[in-house]
Amino acid sequence: MQEGKINTDLIGEKVVSVLKTIYDPEIPVDIYELGLIYDVFVNEDYDVKIIMTLTSPNCPVAESLPKEVEEKVESIKTIKSAKVEITFDPPWSKDLMSEEAKLELGLL
């Protein structure tokens, strides 16, 4: 069904827009540009699954940040549910950051 595909793509774009409003409290860059988001899946029922990592396993926001991501993504009108799965495979590194984030942090 082509129409459903377009809708899930549009929802995916909205999810990314929301992710770009969430910041790591220790680094003044949003979690998307930081490279903490590995993948976003949207199914035809508008359930969202986000695979993400943290800057370290001992990250002080290890419990609150995934919950904030779920809550903000679920605030999108058409989203039925959002689930965050944390992974450390591969572990986060500065190489995962966007050029924009590296520039912002003076790493370029």
pLDDT in tens, 59-80: 888 889 999 999 999 999 999 9
CATH number assigned to the domain with residue range 2-92, chosen from the 4 options 3.90.1150.10, 3.40.50.720, 3.40.1180.10, 3.30.300.130: 3.30.300.130
CA atoms of 58 and 13, how far apart (whole Å):
30
Would you say residue 2 has pLDDT above 70? no
Would you say residue 4 has pLDDT above 60? no
pLDDT in tens, 79-92: 999 999 999 999 99
For the ranges 2-6, 49-53, 88-92, the lowest mean pLDDT is seen at 2-6
CA atoms of 19 and 67, how far apart (whole Å):
12
Q: Nearest-CA neighbor of 43 among 84, 71, 82, 14?
A: 82
pLDDT in tens, 15-39: 999 999 999 888 889 999 999 999 9
Residue type, 5: K
pLDDT confidence of 6, banded at 50, 70, 90? Answer: low
Question: What does the DSSP assignment read for 27-83?
Answer: SSSBTTTTT-EEEEEE-TT-EEEEEE--SSTT-TTTTHHHHHHHHHHHTSTT--EEE
Q: Nearest-CA neighbor of 37 among 70, 80, 86?
A: 86
- Residues 27, 70, 68: CA angle, nearest 5 degrees: 40
